[in-house]
């Protein structure tokens, strides 16, 4: 879980830096895509863990 939180923070920082520096807009886009991907991965992993514990 801590790895996912660390990745979320890193991706958010990359997105902010990308928006702050106009020439690095591509960095902001990549940061947002990775942020969304990490959130989805975290929710899927969390839900699979809950289902395994219930079974």
pTM of the predicted structure, to 2 decimals = 0.74
Above 70 in pLDDT, residue 55?
no
Report pLDDT digits (tens) over 3-35. 888 999 998 998 888 888 878 888 889 989 999
Domain residue ranges in the chain: 2-50
Q: Are the beta carbons of 19 and 28 closer than 8 angstroms?
A: yes
* pLDDT at 3 (0 to 100): 87
Q: Are 38 and 7 in contact (CB under 8 A)?
A: yes
How many helices (H) does the chain have, and how many strands (E)?
2, 0
| pLDDT of amino acid 40 | 93
């Amino acid at each position: 879980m801590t790895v996912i939180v660390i990745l979320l923070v890193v991706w958010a920082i990359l997105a902010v830096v990308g928006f702050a520096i106009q020439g690095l807009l591509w960095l902001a886009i990549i940061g947002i895509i990775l942020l969304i991907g990490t959130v989805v991965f975290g929710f899927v992993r969390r839900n699979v863990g809950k289902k395994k514990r219930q079974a």
